[in-house]
Each structure stands twice: as C-alpha cells, then as structure tokens.
Structure 1
C-alpha cells in the first residue's frame, strides 16, 4: 500500500504552464459530453504527460458518462484503448481532486493497492462512482468495484488515472484526467453521533463517546489552535476533514463552542490507519495541531 495524502503534485505537462495543469481540449466527439472549460491537476514527478479533457476518439482515452452530476448521483468513467498497443495501469490507482481557489486539491483515495492491470487493444476498464454530500459512511475503498464517496460539497472535480503504453517504460507515464461539475448541498461539519457528553474542564472542551466506558484502549484525541502554524502545516478542505471522524468531531466542537483546545476521549479500537492524527493543519485560515495520548 502507498499513502498519497502528502504527495507534491509538481510535474511538467504536455502544454500550458508547469504546476498549473494543461488547457482543456474541448474537442467533443459523437455521443460524448462537452468537456468543461477548465484545466486539470498535475500528477506528480513520475508522470511525463497529462491528457486533460481529451474528448477525441483516438488512442487511449478516459470517457465520462457526463460532465455534470447532482449529489447524490453516479458518474461512470471508461478507459478505452483504441490503440494497437497494450496500456498498463493500476485500476485501483484512480485519483479525485477538487478545484479550490483556482488550485487543485488532492481529495483521495489516500491509500491504494498496487497491482498491475493490462488493457489490451480494444479493451476497457470502467469505474462507477457514486457521489454523496451526506458525510456518513465507511472509509473510501479504492478497491471496490463500485466506488461510493460520501461528504462531497458542490464544485469542480477531476477524476483521473495514469499508465503507460507497452512500447514505453514506467518513466513515460501518461495521466488521463476528466473534470466534472458536482451540484448539491455542502456537507455539514458535525460531531460524530457517538459523542455522548461535552463539558468544559478549565479551558479544555472535553467530549466523551459512548464507546469509552467499555474501551479496550481509551485514547485522547486532542486538538489545539495554533496561532502561527509552521510552513509544514498542510492546508485542508472540508472534504478531507470529513474522511477522519475524530478530526471532524474535534474540529466541529472547536468551531461550535469557540474552543481553542478540545479533547475527545474515545476507544482507539478500530482507529483508521488513514487518521490525520498526529499532525499540524490549516483549515479556513486557522492552524490546528492534532495529537493523541493514552488515557
């Protein structure tokens, strides 16, 4: 498995400016939805080129079923190989980005399996993605045949996959990326339903879950406001925060109660390996330090 959450997406692309994606190729073909007039995210230093919104029916293409969807709704992406060579990729290695303040933010998935899939000439791979604004649900599973992604707000997103032709090597990867618009309500930032009590202890807002009394590994998840986060603080958006129930809960309580310090006491059993704890983050212009401690 590999973590993708902190990868720097800095690569040269086919056209356009370095670090800003490439210009959309609005070249609509038969039975294809019109491409959005927006660039696509970069895919890192191991990708040599990005095919952005390429709606021609040539070579290897990523074809969306639509470029606009309302949540809850489903969109399908089909990778189609019309070339005479095999195309090698990782079916689980798709990526979702969101456009925020004229920049692309990597949303996930943050960890994926790494098998090799071969798409022979004339072959296809398909991803069916269900998008919801409701943040409840299981962790994002990139290996599921049907992808369900909760906790997405409205905006412009990009779905993509990378790979290489059988007559090239891995250093010549091409990323195929398609942008789409998501309409719907913004997901709420609320504490988890498991929170049973919330009270002040001196200057710390303490929340306890209904799992704490029978906890095998009682753990404190602590959030502290940071006035001047260092340069290593990772900028977060709502769609990222919602992927970690403890971060979501402590941040929601801090904002709701105006607290600079929040401690969530919970059972560490079932703690997600994709937790944002520990770390220093920036959310909507404010800094937060996340730490854990045994109780």
Structure 2
C-alpha cells in the first residue's frame, strides 16, 4: 500500500516535448515500473508523434481516452501551466502533479476557485513541487531516486531539497520510505500537509511520518492540530527558516512571515505542544524519527 501513486498508476506527461519534460520523463521511466506507467504525452502541436515510444496526444482528454491514464505530471512553462492544470482537472484524472515554478498567483487563484466551484474530484499536488515517489514502484517528478529505499516511513515536505535530505537520512539509517511527497512551496497549492498526514495515517504500511515545513502560512499548524487529535502514528517535524527575518521572502513564494504564528519558532512551539517531536537541525531529522519508533 502506498499513497497517491503505485506501480499500477498510468501517467501522462504534459509538456513532454520540452527539455525539462523530456529529461524527467526519461528519468522516471528508467526507475522501477516507470516504463509501464508512463503511457502518454500531451502537446497539441505534436499530436501523432511519439517521445521514445511514448505516444503524444493533442489533449489530456484524448490521452486519457486512448490509454486509461489516471495521473498527469506537468512541465509546462509558467505562462501556460495553470491552463495545463485545468485541462487535466477537467479530464477528471485522479491526480495532477505540477512541477512548474513561477506560475502567477492570480492564475493559480483562478484554477483553485474553479476547481472548488465545479466540485472537481481531481487532487492537485504542487505547483512548484518536486513530485513524489513510492520506492521500488514509481517516481513522478524530479526527485532523485537513488537515495530512496523501500520502507515504512512517510515523508511530507514543502521544500524540495529538504525532502531529499530527509529521504537520504532515513535510507542511511536503514529505514526506508513508504512514500515521499513534496507538496510545493507556492502560496496557493493543492494538497497540504494535513491531507498527506491523513493519507499516511490511513496507510497500513506507514509506521511514522517526517513532516517538513517552512516559515509563512498556517499549513503546518493546521496539520499539527489535526495530528494531535487524530494521528495514531508518531510524527517528527522540522521547520526551515528559524533565522529568517520578518517580511523577507525566503526562496519559496509561500515562505514569507506575515503574522506572529508564521515564524519558524512559533510553528515549532505549536508542533511540540501537539505532541510532534521537532528538531532545529536539518541533519538530525532521520535520527529524531528513529528515536520515536
């Protein structure tokens, strides 16, 4: 059991003919069950062609009808990425993963509002995220696969590089991952920490979770408060940005301290109060997790 994706997922790459789309589709196909899983690409101008044996269709709807795909990954440049998300949502896929960074906030606002108004079933991961991996089954996105190892620890993170850091530490300690999920650092995104925690809590093959957050926004606090009352498995946490000055944006578009509870210190305090063990040192995430098992 894994969350969101497994070896039987069928994946479309939107933006498969661009440099980034080509490179990462190739990397994902080379990992575990990727060759079977990546069934289609989408580029309206290149329909009827193929990319290394993967057929290219004019639209997500066409690709889904022809291949039975249920997941899409997006490497479309920022100006067209929100439209690409909507196209996948409108085709009623189960999951859309948007890797693109730099989508205008206004575009994302419009997509999110439309998803809500039309009550769409599609789950959105990202944008501005590294994707996700279920070790030995499937990787979708840009995570390095060689650091992963099959196991029973869930990882959820707003930061791409810190996802890899946590995964590498767990692997080094001999603890593998059930799934590792990067939710992305934009202010308006799809799945939040709380959604992924719920999935890990319900997954019989996940024993504990590493939750990595950043300054800015209420997401980590909401997840911690939910975990306090509902989570049956241990969670450990890290918040990036302890030294960040208020009002300064740190790397991610969503990492901006605006109110008192947005700071790393405030988030760490609330997480601790909710029973989540935390560390202020990112190199200790794996050891901390091991200590609560």
Superposition TM-score, scaled by structure 2 size:
0.30
Normalised TM-score (structure 1): 0.29
Structure with the bigger percentage of strand: 1
Choose between structure 1 and 2 for higher RCO, CA contacts under 8 A separated by at least 6 residues: 1
Give the structure with higher Rg (CA): 1
More helix by share: 2
